[in-house]
Structure 1
Amino acid sequence: MTLPEIIPVSRVNWGGAVRIIRSVFPPIDLFEDIADPADWPLLISAEQKTNPRIMETIGHLDLVPVERRVGGAGASYLMAPFTHIAPERRSRFSDGTFGVLYAGRVFETALFETIHHHARFMARTAEAPGWTSQFREIVLSVRADLHDLRGLEDPALAPDSYEASHGLGRALRGGGSQGVVYPSVRHAGGECVGLFYPDCASEPVQGRHLDYHWDGTRVDLVRDAGVGTVFRVVEAT
């Protein structure tokens, strides 16, 4: 693992970055409310008196420092990755003990990243071929000073192992890093960010709804559910 202190930090200012998530996850009312995030604990306390299951929806709010929380329209898309964590939800830079918000600089990068992970899930569950889960495109802005792995040959970028990247993620986040910008290993020439706090991104807007088709071995088709156009996946590396 490259030592965190020798990784350069770059200002990342991306408008139109793309995150693709499962459509099964609905917006969370508390995060979408116009109330000041500092007042959320009081609102939660009041709501729990009539809805004891509210914490299942909100998740682990205490994992996000008050000063780094975001609220308002679309805030669910920024907050949820940090409040809904679990050991089985590991990702490239997290071992499941903290959240990371991932996004691609362009749509194609986000698409190939999610196709890869969805295909692995489908293979494990031995699902029959067909159109599978629906996804939604989230377009957002990224403005943050991030540790920059672009141009580095770092073991944290290994295509098939997260061992080094988990260690790096823990070290960077523990040292106060805002996140990582790195080359995609699923889309040649693409770039991604892994953000450690929700306020590193802003202006989230829902875009297209997408369907992925599983042919039994890979995701071979993507459909824009809004207009019905189908695209064939010809390269996922």
Structure 2
Amino acid sequence: MVKLNSLAVLDGESLQAYRLVNSKFPPIALFDDVADAADFETIYRLQAITNPRLQNEIGQLELIARSEIPFGIVGCSYATAPFTHVNPAGSCFSDGSYGVLYLADKMDVAIAEVRHHQGKYWANVHGLSYERFVFRGLRCTFSDEGMRDATEVPLTDPIYTPDDYSQAQLLGRAAKQDNCLGLRYNSVRSSGSVCWALLTPRPVTSIIQAAHYEMIWNGQIISVNRLGQLCAE
């Protein structure tokens, strides 16, 4: 088992990385409309009185401290959403009790990651013979200063088992408990590529929409298209 304290701490640099999110989940306007935590609290309480859908839009605010939310940045909503809308089934570095912002060094890598998981999910939907799914491609600027580096861990290590996250989740839990900002790790979907698992949105300085993509399902994902431009298959 990989020990957190055996992983080097990154000195940090300003980076650009990429993410794909389903377009059925719109940006959460309230996160982007305020400049600080005080403004957020005031407006949130006012809107909660008149907007019964606000709780569903915002998600589980109790899962993230207000001090962790990077109010005032471009794309604050995109940075924060993974921490308030948490998949209870878990993910690579989370057991489902906390959120993680996953980023990839290239858009093609982000697409490969999402394509894999979407393919597994829709394969279990009985009777689905054809569907089209639309995603937003996001470009994120952030610093990995203070994060732990798991890229030196060999791909044969159990944390890189493609469809068994048990060991990776133990590492993620140790990092979360240690207040680690995140992990840099090797992609298992795209050889030679690097991903990041941010355990807080604080390192993010901006997230902007870069493009729209569609995935075509016909018993499996047969193509991924970028606004009329074929980008896979």
Normalising by structure 2, we get a TM-score of 0.92
Name the CA shift for 1:212/1:14 in 2 (closer, same or farther; >3 Å): farther
Aligned mates of 2:77, 2:134 — CA distance in 1: 18
> What amino acid is aligned across from residue 220 of structure 1 in structure 2?
I
Moved more, 6-15 or 61-70: 6-15
Q: In the alignment, what sits opposite 2:34?
A: 34
Displacement of 1:71 in angstroms is 2.4
Once the two structures are superposed, the pairs formed by residues 33-182 of structure 1 within 5 Å of their partners are 33-72=33-72, 73-88=74-89, 90-126=90-126, 128-144=128-144, 145-153=146-154, 154-182=157-185
Aligned mates of 1:141, 1:59 — CA distance in 2: 24
Is residue 100–residue 197 contact of structure 1 (8 Å, CA) maintained in 2? yes
Q: Do residues 212 (structure 1) and 215 (structure 2) align? A: yes
Name the CA shift for 1:35/1:192 in 2 (closer, same or farther; >3 Å): same
Aligned mates of 1:115, 1:12 — CA distance in 2: 29
Is residue 131–residue 211 contact of structure 1 (8 Å, CA) maintained in 2? no
Measured on the aligned residues, the alpha-carbon RMSD in Å equals: 1.7
Aligned mates of 2:192, 2:127 — CA distance in 1: 31
Moved more, 2-11 or 188-197: 2-11
Aligned mates of 1:230, 1:131 — CA distance in 2: 17
> What amino acid is aligned across from residue 198 of structure 2 in structure 1?
L
Name the CA shift for 1:12/1:109 in 2 (closer, same or farther; >3 Å): farther
Identity of matched residues, %: 33
Aligned mates of 1:65, 1:38 — CA distance in 2: 13
Give per-residue Cα distances to partners, 1:101-154, cap 9 Å, x unaligned. Answer: 001011111111111111111111145444521001000112022111112133
> What amino acid is aligned across from residue 56 of structure 1 in structure 2?
N
Q: In the alignment, what sits opposite 1:192?
A: 195
Aligned mates of 2:172, 2:17 — CA distance in 1: 21
> What amino acid is aligned across from residue 219 of structure 1 in structure 2?
I
> What amino acid is aligned across from residue 138 of structure 2 in structure 1?
I
Moved more, 165-174 or 5-14: 5-14
Is residue 31–residue 70 contact of structure 1 (8 Å, CA) maintained in 2? no
> What amino acid is aligned across from residue 172 of structure 1 in structure 2?
A
Aligned mates of 1:163, 1:70 — CA distance in 2: 30
| Unaligned stretches of 5+ residues in structure 1 | none
> What amino acid is aligned across from residue 172 of structure 2 in structure 1?
G
Match of 1:223 among 213, 222, 225: 225
| Unaligned stretches of 5+ residues in structure 2 | none
Is residue 34–residue 40 contact of structure 2 (8 Å, CA) maintained in 1? no
Aligned mates of 2:208, 2:127 — CA distance in 1: 31
Aligned mates of 2:129, 2:11 — CA distance in 1: 43
Is residue 151–residue 184 contact of structure 2 (8 Å, CA) maintained in 1? yes
Is residue 14–residue 105 contact of structure 1 (8 Å, CA) maintained in 2? no
Aligned mates of 1:8, 1:14 — CA distance in 2: 18
Moved more, 93-102 or 197-206: 197-206
How many aligned positions are there?
A: 229
Aligned mates of 1:21, 1:11 — CA distance in 2: 29
